[in-house]
Chains A and B, each alone.
Chain A
């Protein structure tokens, strides 16, 4: 392209200058690629080394005798606090928390976006503005009241357990986290769907209404079948955010059996007892990172789109 548009500069600048220019650009790009890859590379090779090799060898060297033991140990044996059963339980905790939280918040977001764009009412912009602002608050400003409420719901759950025989999930830390992530996630999911549905032809909805289709029929038959891309974007965004959350996880499930992966990983790494097994720590970090990395590798395009939508559009 540029060769066509700047023939004059081509002739005067010469081919050599152009080649040098290109070499510099590619060199810089490669250098930065190294910067971004280095920590992941170090983490990965360390997780396959023996402790001997880590203490005597070079951080950047490839493992001499690659071993899966650190991964096995991280998954099934390493100590999180006082329990030494690996991080597998916490990995499942995260899954049990993430799946319902993502599904519920996404569904609510889709419905909200549908209402806010296709069934506009007076004050809709204000409602949306209030929900949108909720995305941006520092969660520290709601952390303590939520802890208080979850605490009293827990006590209520215990008394229900004693009187009725079931606590209906009240006081269960996983349920609590699902609830918290839904509450503070619907702002984002609503934003995503609202912006997407805004561009969706309202005439189609009007036509269906004239034909006597109900609110939910229109949603199910017209909106949903055309929402695949935004569903993928939203699910990925929510999945990444909730999986990676640490603040809520440590505040509401920082101890005990329902601890999610991020908290468990932090405990593994910052444990002060015994010899620090760096290879096991790195394997644990890799396991914690794998789900989101996998999503990124498989659907990077949608991941980026979600970040952009969350960032740029209001």
Chain B
């Protein structure tokens, strides 16, 4: 203010013009200035860090990061472990578990979610009560889910004990303590948590289907089963895709559930690659190997997500 007042004496027009243009140029740049910090943060802390992790995976970092490139030793070790089945290496266990868990988790969630959504779409009384019941586990943390199911599946306290008390004494269910079956308990808890959400996705999809198509098919004499198989499920294809992406992404990132439910399982038998990465990086002082496993996880996600995002973003501009 005071500078304007003093300068008014002589140079008003000349000074006002550049000043206004600086201001207006600032105004023009303002949106970018506002966006810049977030973008910079993303570039540095996401993409920069990813490069950093990739770099570390080519060093011989152990307890502390080392920045001398020593080649692909970490990957060679992982690759060697991939076939180390006798006794199974931690990496072999982790990726096998990932396969079992990923497949069952995604498949059961999709099947159960679709099944429940179709049931709920039959003009059910009390839908408003049932839907939130199916969906609430999604609001819980994996840790709470793990604690609840750990208790529920404990042979001495949970389901087995309860059925014994009810007279079914031959019932035997100790998967959570069995190194060959512990991963399936992770599937059970994971499905319990996410299937309700998948149900909600399918239900939203079902509600979006044009009622006229359904009516026409019904008038043509299609049975309910035919109606769903031939018309409804094909129309839900985009939902299947989205649900698959969500589930695949959740499955690869699953870490907490294994920790809380099984503490890693007997001898690390419930590990997923995420657990492998954490243990090797922070507990076993094998930073390079841990980084290499993180890179492999990232590549898997990229293979799934990038084509999806690309197609989603491509369709957008109109």
Contact = CB atoms under 8 A, between A and B. Distances in A.
Interface of A: 1-2, 5-6, 8-9, 25-26, 28-29, 32-33, 35-40, 42-43, 46, 54, 58-60, 108, 111-112, 115-116, 119, 121, 125, 127-134, 136-146, 148, 183-184, 186-187, 190, 214-216, 240, 243-247, 251, 262, 265-266, 269-270, 278, 281-282, 285, 288-289, 292-293, 295-297, 300, 303-304, 307-308, 311-314
Given A138-B301, A293-B140, A215 B39 contact: no
Contacts of A289: 139-141, 144
Interface stretch (B76-84, B172-180, B275-283): B275-283
A46 B45 CA distance: 43
User: Is the contact region of chain B dominated by helix, strand, or loop, or is it mixed?
Assistant: helix
Interface in B117-176: 119-120, 122-124, 130, 132-145, 147-152, 157-159, 161-162, 165
B204 interface: yes
Contacts of B134: 32-33, 36
Contacts of A25: 119, 122, 124
A29 B120 contact: yes
A246 B49 contact: no
Interface of B: 27, 30-32, 34-35, 37-39, 41-43, 45-50, 52-53, 56, 65, 116, 119-120, 122-124, 130, 132-145, 147-152, 157-159, 161-162, 165, 192, 196-197, 200-201, 204, 215, 218-219, 221, 239, 242-243, 245-246, 249, 252-253, 255-256, 259-260, 263, 274, 277-278, 281-282, 287, 290-291, 293-295, 297-298, 301, 305-306, 308-309, 312-313, 316-317
Given A136-B305, A186-B41, A2 B116 contact: no
Contacts, number: 261
A66 B175 CA distance: 31
8 contacts: A39-B145, A43-B148, A59-B152, A129-B313, A130-B39, A144-B52, A289-B141, A304-B197
A142 B274 contact: no
A119 B201 CA distance: 32
A244 B294 CA distance: 22
A304 B317 CA distance: 27
A156 B259 CA distance: 33
User: Is the contact region of chain A dominated by helix, strand, or loop, or is it mixed?
Assistant: helix
Given A262-B256, A269-B260, A116 B144 contact: no
A2 B141 CA distance: 40
Contacts of A37: 133
B157 A146 contact: no
A288 to B, nearest CB: 6
- A-B complex: 10 closest residue pairs judged by Cβ atoms: A314-B312, A244-B141, A119-B31, A246-B256, A296-B139, A142-B49, A39-B148, A145-B49, A145-B52, A140-B294
A42 B246 contact: no
A32 B294 CA distance: 37
B274 A140 contact: yes
A133 B308 CA distance: 10
A293 B31 CA distance: 38
Contacts of A148: 65
Q: Which of A39, A119, A297, A312: most chain B CB closer than 10 A?
A: A39
Given A33-B133, A144-B53, A112 B35 contact: yes
B188 to A, nearest CB: 10
A304 B43 CA distance: 30
Contact of A29 (B32, B119, B161, B282): B119
